[in-house]
Amino acid sequence: MTATPDSGLHTALLAATLLAPWLALAVLAFTRATGRALLLPLAPVAALLAALVLPDGTALTAALLPAGLSFGMDATARVFLLPAALVWTLSGWLACQLRPEQARSPLFAALWLLALAGNLALILAQDLLALYAGIALMTFAALGLIVFERTAEALAAGRLYLVMMMLAEVALFVAIAALVTDAGGDTRFDAAATRLPGPVLALLALAFGLKLGALGLHSWLPRAHPVAPVPASAVLSGVMIKAGILGWLRLVQPSADTIGSALPPLLVVLGVAGALYAALRGLACRDPKVLLGWSSVSQMGLLTVLAGLALITGEPAIAAISVLVIHHGLAKAALFLGVGLLGAAAGRRRTGIWIGLWLPALALAGAPATTGVLAKSALDLAVAATGQGAGLTAALHLTGLASALLMLRFLWLTRGTPAPDTAQAPAVGRYPELPWLLLLGAVLLLPWLLFQGAPVMAAAATLSGQAAAALPLAVALPIAVAASRWPGATQRATGLRRYRPSFGFRAKNVPAGRPLAFHLAVWERHLHAWRLIGRAVVLVTLALGAAIGLGLTR
C-alpha cells in the first residue's frame, strides 16, 4: 500500500507513544528537580492523543523494529489505551501536586516511567514477543513502586508480589515458547491463538490469572496495591492490573475445543466466588486503601466471569470486557487519588473531596445514572447471549449487592479519616485537586460518550435498566445503616485487626462468637503465609519442568 502523509503522521505518533517514556528517562538525569517531576504527566500525553486520533490498522513497520516485534493500533488496544493514558497522565500530575518531593525523586520517576513504558508496550503489542516484553517490564518496574515507601508492610507485600509474579512470568514464558515453536517461529497473535493445546491453555490461565488476581491467585493484590504511594496505587489498581485480561483476549479465542471443555464454567464459577469472597473480606477492613484493594479483587472476579463467557459467546462478552475495563479503570483510580487527597486536606476542602468520592464509589456500586449501569447492562447482555444464564444472573445480582455494601463501607471509613497535622504534613501544590476533578469528569461522562450507539447503551438507557441498577443499592442502604448501629461493631472490627493467628488450623485459635469476616481473615492469612506460597511455587515449578522435559507443551 502506498503511504500517505496522514499514514506517515500516524506512524510517527505511534512511535512517539512508545518512545516518550524512554526519552523522558534519557533526559531524567539532566533536568532539575522541578523539571523531573513534570516528566511524569508529560510522558503519557502522546499515548492519550494516539488513543483519540489513531485509526485502526496503524502499525510500525518491521524496518523500524527488532525482528519479531510489532506494535499497532486496533480496537482492542484502543479500549485499554484510552483509560490507561488518561489515568497515567492525571495520576502523574497529581503526584507532582500531592507529594512534590516524591515526584522529584530520580528513583521514583525512573520506576514510574519504566512501568509506563511497559504498560504502553503491552497494550500496543501485536505479537507474542512484544506482549511478553511489555508485561515483564511493567511487572518488575511496578515492584519498585510497591516497595518505594520502604515500610515493613511495603517490603513484605513486595516479597509476596515478586514471588507470585515470577511464577506468572515463568508460566507465560513457557507457554509463549511452546506457541512460537509449534507455529514454526511465527509470533503473530492470530497464528498463536489457533494452536492452544490443553497444557498451554492451562499455563496461560495460570499466568494471566496471577496478573489479574483471580480467586486463589489473588493474595498479592490486597497487600501490594495499598502500600504503594497514592498515585502509584491508582495506576496499579486502575490500569496495570488489566494486563491479565488483555493477554487473555489476545491469545485465547472461542473454539470448539474450549467450548466443549470444563474451562469456561470453571472460570465463571471462580469469578463469581472471587467477586463475593473479596467483597466480604473488604467489609472487614478499616483502612480505606486496603478496602479498595479488595474491591479490585472483586471487580477482577467479574472480569474472570467474562473471560469464561468469552470462550462461549465471543463478541458479547468481549464487548462487556471493554465496558468494565474503562469503567473500573477510571473509577478505581479516582477513588485511590481521592483517598490521598483526603489525607492531605482540611476544612471545607476536605469536605468537598469526601463529597466528590461519592461519584466513583456510586459508579462502582452500580447506582442509577452512573457508568455502573453500563457495566451492569454489559454483564447482563453477555450472560443473556449464553441462552441459559438464570442462575448466573442471580449470582451477579448478589455480587452487585456486595459491591454496593463495600462502597458504602468505604464512604463510611473515609468520613472518619483524621485530618493531617499541619506542623508535620508534607508540602502540597497549590491546586492538588485539579487533576482529580478532571478524572471525576471522565468517570461521569467518558464511558457514556465512548459507547454511544452500542447495544449496551440502549439497554442501560431504558427505565427497566435504571430500575434494576437501583435495586442492589436500595437493599444495601438499610443493611449498611443497621450494621453501623449494631452494638459493639467497632470493637469487633478493632479486635479483628489486632488478631494474628498461628500458621496452623487449630480450634483454640478461633475464638467463639466471631463473625464470618473474622474466619475469612484467618483463612486469608493462611493464604499469605510463606509456607503455603513457597510450597505452591515449588510444586508449580516442578510441574513446568516436567512439562518441558516431557514435551507436553508442544
* pLDDT tens digits for range 154-199: 999 999 899 889 989 999 998 888 888 887 777 888 777 666 777 8
Helices 128-146 and 152-182: crossing angle in degrees, nearest 10, is: 170
Helices 371-384 and 288-313: crossing angle in degrees, nearest 10, is: 30
pLDDT band at residue 427, thresholds of 50, 70 and 90? low
Q: Please check whether residue 360 is in contact with residue 440, taking contact to mean a CB–CB distance below 8 angstroms.
A: yes
C-alpha to C-alpha distance for 109 and 91, rounded to whole angstroms? 13
- Tell me the mean pLDDT in the region 223-241: 92
| pLDDT at site 74 | 92
pLDDT at 490 > cutoff 60? no
pLDDT at 456 > cutoff 60? yes
Task: Please check whether residues 273 and 354 belong to one and the same domain.
Answer: yes
pLDDT at 414 > cutoff 60? yes
pLDDT at 47 > cutoff 60? yes
Task: Please check whether residues 399 and 340 belong to one and the same domain.
Answer: yes
3-class SS string, 248-285:
HHHHCCCCHHHHCCCHHHHHHHHHHHHHHHHHHHHHCC
Higher pLDDT, 164 or 535: 164
Q: Is residue 68 part of a domain?
A: no
Q: Among 446, 462, 481, where does a domain finish? A: 481
| pLDDT at site 183 | 75
| pLDDT at site 67 | 59
Q: Which of 57, 81, 176, 166 is nearest to 127 (CA)?
A: 176
Task: Please check whether residues 32 and 173 belong to one and the same domain.
Answer: yes
Q: Is residue 249 part of a domain?
A: no
pLDDT band at residue 391, thresholds of 50, 70 and 90? confident
- Ramachandran assignment for 125, one of left (phi > 0), alpha (psi -120 to 50 degrees), beta (any other): beta
pLDDT digits (tens, 9 = 90+) for 97-118: 888 888 888 999 999 999 999 9
pLDDT band at residue 66, thresholds of 50, 70 and 90? low
| pLDDT at site 551 | 47
Q: Is residue 248 part of a domain?
A: no
Taking the mean position of all CA atoms in its chain, how far away is CA 417?
25
Q: For 188, phi and psi rounded to 5 degrees?
A: -70, 150
Tell me whether residue 526 is exposed, middle or buried, using C-beta atoms within 10 angstroms of its C-beta: 0 to 12, 13 to 18, 19 or more: middle
Radius of gyration of the chain (CA): 23
Task: Please check whether residues 228 and 310 belong to one and the same domain.
Answer: no
| pLDDT at site 299 | 93
Task: Please check whether residues 21 and 36 belong to one and the same domain.
Answer: yes
Task: Please check whether residues 211 and 275 belong to one and the same domain.
Answer: no
Higher pLDDT, 484 or 156: 156
pLDDT at 225 > cutoff 90? no
Q: Residue 233: which domain range?
A: 1-60+74-240
Task: Please check whether residues 137 and 283 belong to one and the same domain.
Answer: no
| pLDDT at site 244 | 92
| pLDDT at site 529 | 56
pLDDT band at residue 330, thresholds of 50, 70 and 90? very high
| pLDDT at site 148 | 93
Higher pLDDT, 387 or 89: 89
Task: Please check whether residues 329 and 386 belong to one and the same domain.
Answer: yes
DSSP 8-state class, residue 63: G
pLDDT at 519 > cutoff 90? no
pLDDT at 122 > cutoff 90? yes
Residue 325 identity: V
Give the number of other Cβ atoms within 10 Å of residue 161's Cβ: 22
C-alpha to C-alpha distance for 392 and 388, rounded to whole angstroms? 9
Supply the mean pLDDT for the chain: 82
Q: Is residue 65 part of a domain?
A: no
Task: Please check whether residues 463 and 362 belong to one and the same domain.
Answer: yes
Length in residues, the chain: 554
C-alpha to C-alpha distance for 77 and 120, rounded to whole angstroms? 10
State the pTM of this model.
Answer: 0.86
Task: Please check whether residues 376 and 501 belong to one and the same domain.
Answer: no
- Most confident range, picked from 218-232, 386-400, 459-473: 218-232
pLDDT digits (tens, 9 = 90+) for 239-294: 999 999 999 989 887 654 555 577 788 888 889 988 998 998 888 888 899 999 99
Overall number of domains in the chain: 3
| pLDDT at site 213 | 87
Q: Is residue 395 part of a domain?
A: yes
Residue 190 identity: D
pLDDT band at residue 346, thresholds of 50, 70 and 90? confident
pLDDT at 547 > cutoff 90? no
C-alpha to C-alpha distance for 536 and 511, rounded to whole angstroms? 29
| pLDDT at site 61 | 65
Helix (H, G, I), strand (E, B) or coil at 14: helix
pLDDT band at residue 23, thresholds of 50, 70 and 90? very high
| pLDDT at site 502 | 31
Q: Is residue 67 part of a domain?
A: no
C-alpha to C-alpha distance for 329 and 371, rounded to whole angstroms? 12
Please list, residue by residue across 192-223, b when 16 or more beta carbons sit within 10 angstroms of its beta carbon and e when fewer do.
bbeebeebbbbbbbbbbbbbbbbbebbbbbbb
pLDDT at 42 > cutoff 90? yes
| pLDDT at site 101 | 85
All three cell numbers of 136, joined, read 515483564
Q: Please check whether residue 476 is in contact with residue 401, taking contact to mean a CB–CB distance below 8 angstroms.
A: yes
Percent of the chain with pLDDT over 90: 40
Helix (H, G, I), strand (E, B) or coil at 196: coil
Percent of the chain with pLDDT over 70: 79
| pLDDT at site 482 | 79
Task: Please check whether residues 108 and 219 belong to one and the same domain.
Answer: yes
Q: Please check whether residue 448 is in contact with residue 330, taking contact to mean a CB–CB distance below 8 angstroms.
A: no
Task: Please check whether residues 387 and 525 belong to one and the same domain.
Answer: no
Q: For 263, phi and psi rounded to 5 degrees?
A: -65, -50
